[in-house]
């Protein structure tokens, strides 16, 4: 279904470009010729309709219906005081230009039927209305201008293609169903544009500015090449959006799209200025499914946002994001989306995952995949009437840098052969129904964080590094994996099964430290502790079963004293260690050896694993 949807949108865009090219290719070959201006005789009262092609209606008796002619219909000096209606119904009307002008006292209406080809321009002045009636085609080589209080109304099954467009503030353009409007060179759209049903709009070229409003129907497609949305402007697309160049949304402007969004690299990108917003399906609870029954696909290959900008995705079967730079901006996913992939590289100041109502009522498991992504803050607010699960899968090299909040029902997964760095100076917590899973061959690094997670578990060949961190939670290190801890505090249990455990400097493990199945534990310190108060490893319980422990120090060997007790590990509960499984990793003089011993309950309710040197 995805393949067919992409093909249909791509085919329509290609057909739009072909139509534009065919309309003007032969015109561009014509030589410039002298224009002949013909004035409409506005002394006639056309309230009962007048025929554009009647010679009697034109001063001089010549109908401007050939190349080189400019038709001027000017009621600005008329006092007829009613709507003047002029109709052209010939099969093919061709001339250079049509200029319409009047006042609000004498309104004027021009009805165009069948095919109309203007080799230069059409100007719709104040108080003028142009009706393009059913099954008609209007091609304007150069400019379509709609002035303030001017109106163009295009009925069903009709097409309007122009070289450039200038819709002044206060102007109006409406297109009925099964219609199509395009500009190929440049457009300044400060008026109001309304595309109904499946009517589609295409704005090509480089110099395009939208300063007014655009609203489309649910089945319509809007194609933007290079478009600047001016400050405070509002674009409301109830259908679909294709961006083939750069769509820049200026400060405090907004663009909303209900269904499919396609922004394809290398040229396609969305750029948001300060306080700008881009919203896909802003209110998913009120938006019905697409009438064609197809999936909703949001693909944005390049997304850039400045400070306080916001991008939100409300409803999509697939959300695919490529390069994302929202440094100071926010990415919000406001409902359950079946599939989300932020491929990266990406830099996101705030990632907000929130849903007030499930779009897919039976699917309450939300999963987001990320590639090379740096996220400063992540928030998860899911309230869908019953428990839901948020799963965030980190691929490649990703980081969380500042997340002072608790995530509920959240599973953080470091995918196979990937790295996740968590460096959050603020408080970062996962609730009791959450966990962190470190996949095979992957790495999780906690640095200078205050971190809470019920469980951290690893696959095969994984690594976990905890440096200068205060952590609350349990850690389970699996087969052929490793755990590195440096100057940290762990409130919880650490279990190491057929893996490596490395302590550097002092660490407090308030729970249990359990080393199983031929695991290798190492302790490295700058200098050995001669006092129980300076013991480098403090635990609630310490059990070394079927594993080994090695001790290393940077302290010069000649400064170590024979017979001095050096404190290695303390335990306030149980301490189960076979001293014969303990060894040192630093050299001794040939006349010295060492022993490890256990001092049970040293009068303070604490047991110690100690080390001593002896002369042979």
Three-state DSSP string of 245-306: CEEEECCCCEEEECCCEEECCCCCEEEECCCCEEEECCCCCCCCCCCCCCCCEEEEEEEEEC
Determine what percent of the chain falls in helix, strand and coil, rounding each to the nearest 5. Answer: 5, 55, 40
Residue 380 pLDDT? 78
pLDDT the model gives residue 146: 98
Q: What is the pLDDT of residue 373?
A: 93
Q: Can the peptide bond before residue 180 be classed as cis, meaning omega within 30 degrees of 0?
A: no
Report the predicted TM-score, pTM, of the whole model to 2 decimal places.
0.85
> 175: number of CA atoms within 13 Å, CB side?
29
Can you give the pLDDT at residue 386? Answer: 55
Other CB atoms closer than 10 Å to residue 445's CB: what's the count?
19
Q: Which secondary structure element, helix H or strand E, spans residue 612, and what is its range?
A: strand 607-615
DSSP SS3 for 309: coil
Mean pLDDT of each 10-residue bin along the chain, 616 residues long: 41 47 43 81 94 97 97 92 92 97 90 96 96 96 97 98 98 97 96 96 96 95 97 95 98 96 94 97 83 91 96 92 95 81 93 66 70 88 63 91 81 94 86 91 94 94 96 95 96 95 94 92 95 94 92 92 95 93 93 94 86 92
382, two tokens: 């899911």
Give dist(CA 359, CA 289) in Å, integer.
10
Residue 531: count of CB within 10 angstroms of its CB: 9
Q: Could you tell me how many residues make up the chain?
A: 616
- Residues forming a β-bridge with 392: 368, 412
Nearest to residue 473, comparing CAs of 488, 485, 496, 490?
490
Question: How do beta strands 592-599 and 261-263 pair?
Answer: unpaired
- The CB-side HSE value for 484 (13 A sphere, CA atoms) comes to 11
Predicted local distance difference test score (pLDDT) of residue 338? 81
How many CB atoms within 10 Å of residue 283? 14
pLDDT of residue 1: 33
Collapsed DSSP state (helix, strand, coil) of residue 7: helix
pLDDT for position 257: 97
List the beta strands (DSSP E) in 277-372: 277-280, 297-305, 310-313, 318-333, 340-342, 346-355, 365-370
Contact status, residue 322 vs residue 302, Cβ threshold 8 Å: yes
In this prediction, residue 7 carries a pLDDT of 38
């Amino acid at each position: 279904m995805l393949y067919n949807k992409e093909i249909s949108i791509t085919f329509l865009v290609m057909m739009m470009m072909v139509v534009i090219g065919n309309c003007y290719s032969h015109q561009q070959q014509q030589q410039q010729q002298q224009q002949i201006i013909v004035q409409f005789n506005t002394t006639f009262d056309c309230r009962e309709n007048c025929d554009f092609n009647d010679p009697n209606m034109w001063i001089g008796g010549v109908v401007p219906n050939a190349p080189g002619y400019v038709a001027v219909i000017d009621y600005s000096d008329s006092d007829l005081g009613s709507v003047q209606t002029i109709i052209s119904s010939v099969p093919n009307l061709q001339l250079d230009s049509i200029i319409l002008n009047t006042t609000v006292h004498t309104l004027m209406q021009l009805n165009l039927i069948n095919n109309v080809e203007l080799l230069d321009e059409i100007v719709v002045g104040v108080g003028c209305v142009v009706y393009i009636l059913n099954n008609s085609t209007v091609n304007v080589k150069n400019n379509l201008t709609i002035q303030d209080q001017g109106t163009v109304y295009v009925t069903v099954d009709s097409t309007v293609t122009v070289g450039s467009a200038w819709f002044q503030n206060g102007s109006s353009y409406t297109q009925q169903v099964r219609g199509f409007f395009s500009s190929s060179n440049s457009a300044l759209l400060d008026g109001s544009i309304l595309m109904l049903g499946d009517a589609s709009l295409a704005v090509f070229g480089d110099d395009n500015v939208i300063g007014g409003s655009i609203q489309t129907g649910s089945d319509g497609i809007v194609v933007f090449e290079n478009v600047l949305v001016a400050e405070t402007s509002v674009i409301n697309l109830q259908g679909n959006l294709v961006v083939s160049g750069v769509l820049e949304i200026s400060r405090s402007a907004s663009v909303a799209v209900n269904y499919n969004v396609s922004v394809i690299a290398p040229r396609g990108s969305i750029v948001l200025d300060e306080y700008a917003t881009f919203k896909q399906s802003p209110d998913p609870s009120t938006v019905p499914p697409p009438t064609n029954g197809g999936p909703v696909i949001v693909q944005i290959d390049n997304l850039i946002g400045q400070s306080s900008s916001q991008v939100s995705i409300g409803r999509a079967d697939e959300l695919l994001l490529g390069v994302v730079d929202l440094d100071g901006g926010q990415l919000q996913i406001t409902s359950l989306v079946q599939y989300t992939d932020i491929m990266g590289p990406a830099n996101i100041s705030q990632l907000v995952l929130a849903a007030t109502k499930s779009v897919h009522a039976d699917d309450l498991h939300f999963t987001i995949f990320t590639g090379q992504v740096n996220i400063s803050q992540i928030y998860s607010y899911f309230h869908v009437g019953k428990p839901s699960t948020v799963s965030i899968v980190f691929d490649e090299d990703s980081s969380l840098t500042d997340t002072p909040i608790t995530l509920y029902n959240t599973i953080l997964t470091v995918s196979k052969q990937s790295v996740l760095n968590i460096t959050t100076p603020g408080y970062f917590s996962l609730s009791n129904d959450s966990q962190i899973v470190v996949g095979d061959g992957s790495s999780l690094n906690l640095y200078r964080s205050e971190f809470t997670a019920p469980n951290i578990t690893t696959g095969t060949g994984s690594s976990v590094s905890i440096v200068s961190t205060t952590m609350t939670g349990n850690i389970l290190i699996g087969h052929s994996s490793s755990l590195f801890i440096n100057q940290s505090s762990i409130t919880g249990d650490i279990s190491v099964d057929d893996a490596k455990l490395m302590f550097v400097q002092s660490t407090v493990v308030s729970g249990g430290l359990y080393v199983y199945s031929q695991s290798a534990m190492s302790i490295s310190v700058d200098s050995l502790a001669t006092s129980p108060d300076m013991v480098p490893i403090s635990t609630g319980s310490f059990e070394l079963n079927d594993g080994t422990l090695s001790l290393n120090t940077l302290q010069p060997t000649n400064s170590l004293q024979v017979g001095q007790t050096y404190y290695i590990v303390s335990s306030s509960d149980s301490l189960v260690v076979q001293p014969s499984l303990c060894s040192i990793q630093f050299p001794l003089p040939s006349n010295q050896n060492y022993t490890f011993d256990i001092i049970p309950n040293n009068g303070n309710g604490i047991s110690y694993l100690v080390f001593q040197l002896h002369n042979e």
